């Protein structure tokens, strides 16, 4: 995937699956559920890129970009990233680029196979380009960015 294609996906968070499909932004793949009866449906257009849709409305709510394989089922994204994101970043890099986060959570222990994490930092995206959206940097235990999470600030249902 090219950096501009990721930018388009980030811009289109909040759009309906059917519209994204009809406009050729998404591949003609069916949405899948990870857990039976889950409120979210998923699409993996390429390894390391996961899109989350709210089942009830078909709204595209979250884009996950996996930079580091942390579980057996995780696939790493090997494509381009739009600036200022990089495939190898630490929490120090994130703070130097983005400043003080709007929200943050320190290291936590998750169930196996995830184990200990480095927590996360959240930042609002530029409201002119990406109104109502934020990016969350999820960290490994040694504070490397493992996942970029682009999502709506207010999903309106949780």
Provide, rounded to the nearest whole percent, the portion of the chain with pLDDT above 70.
Answer: 97
pTM for this one?
0.92
Q: How far apart are CA 18 and CA 34, in angstroms?
A: 20
Rounded to whole angstroms, the Cα distance separating 9 from 49 reads 11
In this prediction, residue 158 carries a pLDDT of 59
pLDDT tens for each residue of 42-90 = 999 999 999 999 999 999 999 999 999 888 888 999 999 999 999 999 9
Query: Average pLDDT of the chain?
Result: 91
Q: How many CB atoms lie within 10 A of CB 158?
A: 7
The per-residue pLDDT for 110 is 75
At residue 114, does pLDDT exceed 80? no
Q: What is the mean pLDDT of residues 127-136?
A: 95
- CA distances from residue 59 to 15, 16, 30, 42, 52 in whole angstroms, order as listed: 6, 4, 14, 11, 8
Average pLDDT, integer, range 85-104: 96
Q: Would you list the domain boundaries of the chain?
A: 3-152
């Amino acid at each position: 995937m090219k950096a501009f294609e990721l930018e388009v996906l980030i811009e289109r968070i909040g759009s309906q699956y059917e519209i994204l499909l009809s406009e050729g932004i998404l591949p003609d793949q069916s949405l899948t559920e990870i857990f039976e009866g889950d409120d979210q449906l998923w699409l993996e257009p390429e390894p390391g890129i996961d899109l989350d849709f709210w089942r009830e409305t078909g709204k595209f709510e979250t884009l996950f970009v996996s930079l580091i394989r942390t579980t057996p089922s995780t696939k790493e994204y090997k494509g381009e990233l739009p600036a200022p994101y990089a495939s190898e970043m630490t929490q120090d890099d994130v703070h130097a680029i983005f400043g003080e986060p709007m929200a943050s959570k320190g290291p936590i222990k998750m169930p196996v196979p995830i184990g200990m994490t480095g927590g996360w930092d959240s930042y609002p995206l530029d409201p002119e380009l990406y109104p109502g959206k934020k990016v969350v940097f999820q960290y490994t235990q040694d504070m490397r960015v493992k996942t970029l999470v682009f999502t709506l600030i207010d999903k309106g249902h949780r």
